[in-house]
Amino acid sequence: MMFKTSLRHLREGLKGTLRNGWMSFAAISAVTITLLLVGVFALIMFNVNEITDNVENDVEVQVFITREADESSVEELGQNIEQVPGVSTVTFSSKENELKKFQAQLGENGEAYGTVEKDNPLHARYIVKAQDPEELEAVAKSVSELDNVDEVAYGQEYVDKMLAFFNGIRIGGLALIVGLTLMAMFLISNTIKMTIFSRRREIEIMRLVGAKNSFIRWPFFIEGLFLGVFGALIPIAVIYFGYDVAYSALQPSLDQLNSDIFKLLDPSTLTMQVSGVLLALGAFIGIWGSTTSLGRFLKI
C-alpha cells in the first residue's frame, strides 16, 4: 500500500515534469548552468585553497646575520628570535650551507664558486616561520630590531598580492554561484507554480474527497526534486571527466616548475566529492524551489 502510494507520487511528479515541458526544460537548464559553474568554481577553489595553504605555509622570514657576529652572539640571536611572539620555528643555516645551496642551484656552473669557500661572501641566516602567516609582517619587524641582524627579507608583497588575488577569485565566484542558485530556485519555483496551476482542479477535488495535505504535496515535492537532480546530471559528468582531462593536460607542465606550491589536487577523490556536492545542491535547489511554491500557491 505504502509502496503503491509512493509509486503514484513518483509517477505524478514525473508527469508534472513532462507536462510543463518547456518550463521544466528552462528550470533544468538553469540548474545545469548553475551547477556547471558551481562545479568548475568548486574545483578551482579547492585548488586555489590548496595553493593558498601551500603559500601560507611556505612563507618565512629570512634573517641575515651580520658577518661580524661571533658564534655566541649568533646563538643568542637565535634564542632572542624564538622569544618573539608569533614565531613558530627557527632554523639556522650557516654560511657554508648557504654556499652549498647556492652552488647546487647553479648546478655545474656552481663549481666555479668553489674558490670563494675561504672567503665566503654570504651571510649565515635564520629561517623563521610564523605561527600565522598574517603575523609575518609583525614578526619580521620585531626580528629586524634585534642585535646582529643585518637584513630581514620576506616575500610580503608577493604573498599579499597572491592572497588578495585568490581572495578575489573566491568572493567573485561565491557571489556568482549564489546569484545563479537563486535564479535556478526561482525558475523551479515558477515551474512548480505552473504545475500547481494546471492541476488546481485535481487538487481541489483531492481536498474535497479528503486527501491528506502531505498526499497532495508529495508529487510537487518530487517534481522539484526531479528538476534539481536532472539538472545536476550533466554538470556531474562534465566535472567528473573534465577535471581528469584538465589534470592530465596541466599537471605535467606544473611538474616542470618543480615547486611545492603549484600542484593540482588529485582528481579521483576530488571529483567524487564535488559530484556529491553538486547532486546534493541540485536536490536542495529543487526541493527548496518547490517548497516555496507549495507554501505560497497551495492553500491547504
Partner 1 sequence: MISMQKVSKVYPNGVVAMDDLDLEIRDGEFLYVVGPSGAGKSTFMKMIYREEKPTGGQLLINGLDVGKLKDRHVPKLRRQLGVIFQDFKLLPSLTVYENVAFALEVVGADTSSVRKQVMDVLNLVGLKNKARNYPDELSGGEQQRVSIARAIVNKPKLIIADEPTGNLDPETAWGIMDVFEEIHRRGATIVMATHNREIVDKIRHRVIAIENGKVVRDEEKGAYGYDV
Enumerate binding residues for partner 1 (CB under 8 A).
Answer: 1, 4-5, 8, 201-202, 204-213, 215, 300
Q: Got the DSSP string for 164-223? A: HHHHHHHHHHHHHHHHHHHHHHHHHHHHHHHHHHHTHHHHHHHHHTT--HHHHHHHHHHH
Distance CA 259, CA 189 (A): 48
Distance CA 128, CA 81 (A): 8
Distances (CA, A) of 27 to 12, 23, 31, 175, 278: 18, 6, 6, 20, 16
Residue nearer to partner 1 on the CB measure, 21 or 107: 21
Least distance to partner 1 from the beta carbon of 212, Å? 5
Least distance to partner 1 from the beta carbon of 242, Å? 43
Least distance to partner 1 from the beta carbon of 32, Å? 30
Residue nearer to partner 1 on the CB measure, 13 or 231: 13
Three-state secondary structure call for residue 63 = strand
Residue nearer to partner 1 on the CB measure, 7 or 127: 7
Name residue 22's amino acid: W
Residue nearer to partner 1 on the CB measure, 101 or 200: 200
Q: Give the relative orientation of helices 21-58 and 213-257 as an angle to the nearest 10 degrees.
A: 40
Least distance to partner 1 from the beta carbon of 203, Å? 10
Distance CA 220, CA 202 (A): 13
With a CB cutoff of 8 Å and minimum separation 6, the contacts of 194 are 20, 23
Residue nearer to partner 1 on the CB measure, 8 or 161: 8
Residue nearer to partner 1 on the CB measure, 8 or 101: 8
Residue nearer to partner 1 on the CB measure, 1 or 104: 1
Q: Give the relative orientation of helices 21-58 and 156-198 as an angle to the nearest 10 degrees.
A: 160
Least distance to partner 1 from the beta carbon of 207, Å? 7
Helix, strand, coil distribution of the chain in percent, nearest 5? 75, 10, 15
